[in-house]
Chain A
């Protein structure tokens, strides 16, 4: 686990400026100084959380509607959101060294719950994703990517009680964001020698136009942390 301070702005979506609508340049958006709406990506976060809430509480109809809203353009960001939430749920349940017998029991429950002849549900793939989170990261490459969200939801809906409280959900989401920020910073360090979305001191950079679309009030976060999104934009402009 990293010791760096993490900003809740270092969400996976922040690393994906390509999620802007075609023809909508990020800098163009940030130049419109009077625009105080939350950034589209912040809306994504609420959408992802609403969808996850509906799924974890078993509200299939709402979840389906929200899944349609999430759509194709946000699929990559959503995939990462689901992955980080999955990590949080798994670590909370099993820690980082799960007992193989506990995993086998989970796998058997998932098989009995979801497998029907011909539907292709391989419970061992769900188990593999759990183990991937707990140190066997190789296994993440052995489950087809297109199947991963389905197996992650199967595990999460098995481990999270449908009556989960709002407070417990908020804790899960917050934990998922911390994990996401750590993954991104570790990945950035591995690939480029420096973390993605560095929480650089605000004073080091001139107050760029990007700060005006920052939806989080300054007092709501530590003074030395500024949105990773703004830092990303300045690097690429």
Chain B
């Protein structure tokens, strides 16, 4: 499988919540692919968050709408209540705000730490929006377009 197809299928599996498939696809990653997958996941999060927090996520938007952010975080905290260990909600907030003009907030998180944080955001938005879950390919294509801008400027 070409790297591009591998990443497409990996992110698509994350969008549809097929974590077994995603894990098995990660088994075929070469070392540099993990970082690419995390960046592509972050681009997908940007795409999904645009409906909540406004357009341009990761592409120059900002500052974030603080009321909308508070509502989003409240929703994510409710969904995560009782989870052990609890999700790192502040890292999740940092990931959101990093897409709205505060990229420095994500710097302290390693790629390994970013993965679960970004996935928590992706799955929270997919859970709210059946359209996202039903159209993983559209989400992946949009995410790739965002990532192309990140890479090429």
* Interface set of A (CB-CB < 8 Å, partner B): 100-101, 104, 107-108, 111-112, 115, 117, 120-125, 128, 138-139, 142-143
Contact = CB atoms under 8 A, between A and B. Distances in A.
B63 A101 contact: yes
B105 interface: yes
Given A100-B66, A104-B63, A139 B90 contact: yes
B88 to A, nearest CB: 8
A154 to B, nearest CB: 13
A120 B108 contact: yes
Contacts of A112: 104
B94 A122 contact: yes
Contact of A123 (B63, B66, B86, B105): B105
B63 A124 contact: no
Contact of A128 (B63, B77, B86, B90): B90
Given A108-B104, A138-B77, 17 more contacts: A104-B63, A104-B102, A111-B104, A111-B105, A111-B107, A115-B108, A122-B90, A122-B91, A122-B94, A122-B108, A124-B90, A124-B97, A124-B105, A125-B90, A128-B90, A142-B86, A142-B90
Contacts of A108: 102, 104
9 contacts: A100-B66, A107-B102, A111-B104, A111-B107, A115-B107, A117-B107, A123-B105, A124-B90, A139-B90
A139 B92 CA distance: 13
